[in-house]
Amino acid sequence: MGRHGEWLIRMFLAFLCSVCLAHIGRFPASYISITNILLAGQHGIKTFAIFFLLPVIIIQLGAPRFSARTSHERHQGRKIQRFPMAWTLFSRLFFTYTWRILVLGYRNRLELSSLDPLPENVRSSALSAVFQRASIKKREFTAYADEKEAFIQAPTSSSPKGRLPLYAVIFAVSRWELLLSAVLRLAGIALSLVPSLTLGYLLVFIEDGEVGWHGYAYALEYTLSQFVCGLLNAHDKYFMALGAYKAQSALVSALYKKVLRISSSSRRKYTAGHITNLISVDVEQVGQFLQLANSCWSVPLKIVATLAFLWHYLGPSCMATVATMTIGTLATTCAAHYCGKFQVTITVAWPPPTHPLNEKKEKKREATMET
């Protein structure tokens, strides 16, 4: 943060100490302002020295004692630079440890001893087996005996034909995560309307002068609704990310098994770059689609709920906002479409020059593939 940042932090801490001392001494909070203190005469100057200058001096002199900085040292005529740490004791306590507790918890998540074992249903082998069972349709066989009393099994005529689509197989792999995420998303949408209703009740409370405890109840309801809504959104994203991870793991395992099992003649049709693109790009796109799958129904539902809420309070005037948003969206979409077409036209008209060495490599690769 530098010296200026440390000085500001120390001044802020000194001001907090002065406010605490004033509260202990039963002084009003406005009495701590420098203008009131200087205009109060000699008694105000003494109060300023006790409640503001003294904490500043103590913190300014005491904070460097607890700092993690190390001085420069000389060793055999050479100066050793030790990397100083700009965080003092107070800033470290207020920022570093607090951030660690809020975000990382009380354990270091990156240490091997603090990591939880991977559950059986999330491992790649189990996910690959589920993917394989879902991708291969079960066929029904009918057993009968022929004229020579030989036991024969033949598939029934009503056996399913074709293969299941990819989205059905992926849903079979991560169906519970998608369902839990959908339930949490629906609850979050319903709960996101509560703060707006609570603000309306607070405005009525301020204007009409209801019972005092009603205001505390409304404020508590507003805070809890925001907290629970954020908690539901975080768990929604967690379950969606877990479902996307399971689908990606199953797809990568299936691709590797397919590559290792195909014959050498068939393997020549696929280059290493093609297989790498399948694993790194296409599988990642499937994971990104899964993370946005619930948005296909949640976004329209949220828009409809918001419009109903606005119609209830504003009436037909809310349609002006809807018309403005619709016109802006259509204009942006048309502009992006024409810009894309213009860019493609420029690329086709003036293609980038190719290096001769790259052309030789491409011809050599095509000749190798043909042979």
Question: What are 218-228's pLDDT values in tens digits?
Answer: 888 888 888 88
Element at 78 (helix H, strand E):
strand 78-80
Percent of the chain clearing pLDDT 70 (strictly above): 49
Which uninterrupted H or E stretch holds 151? strand 151-155
Confidence band of 355 (pLDDT split at 50, 70, 90): low
pLDDT for 99 equals 56
Distance of CA 222 to the CA centre of its chain: 24
Query: How far is the C-alpha of 87 from the C-alpha of 221, rounded, in Å?
Result: 38
In sequence order, what are the residues at sequence separation of 6 or more whose Cβ sits closer than 8 angstroms to the Cβ of residue 360? none
> pLDDT for 134-191, tens place per residue?
766 655 556 655 566 555 555 555 545 556 677 777 777 888 888 999 999 999 998 8
Let me know the angle formed at the C-alpha of 67 by 65 and 72, rounded to the nearest 5 degrees.
95
Q: Which CATH class is domain 166-345?
A: mainly alpha
Q: Which residues contact residue 219 at a Cβ distance below 8 angstroms, ignoring those fewer than 6 apart?
A: 202
35 neighbors 52 (Cβ within 8 angstroms): no
pLDDT of residue 187: 92
Q: Does the structure show a pLDDT above 70 at 242?
A: yes
Q: For the chain, where do the domains classified as CATH 1.20.1560.10 start and end?
A: 166-345
Q: What is the C-alpha radius of gyration for the chain, rounded to an integer number of angstroms?
A: 34
Residue 85 confidence (pLDDT): 41
Local confidence band at 370 (pLDDT 50, 70, 90 cut-offs): low
Confidence at residue 186, expressed as pLDDT on a 0 to 100 scale = 92
Please tell me the predicted confidence (pLDDT) of residue 66: 46
Q: What is the pLDDT of residue 229?
A: 87
What's phi and psi for 263, nearest 5 deg?
Answer: -75, 170
Query: Is the Cα torsion angle 263, 268, 273, 274 positive or negative in sign?
Result: negative
d(CA 195, CA 339): 40
pLDDT greater at residue 282 or residue 71 = 282
Contacts of residue 253, defined as CB under 8 A and 6 or more positions apart, other chains included, come to: 124, 125, 127, 128, 131
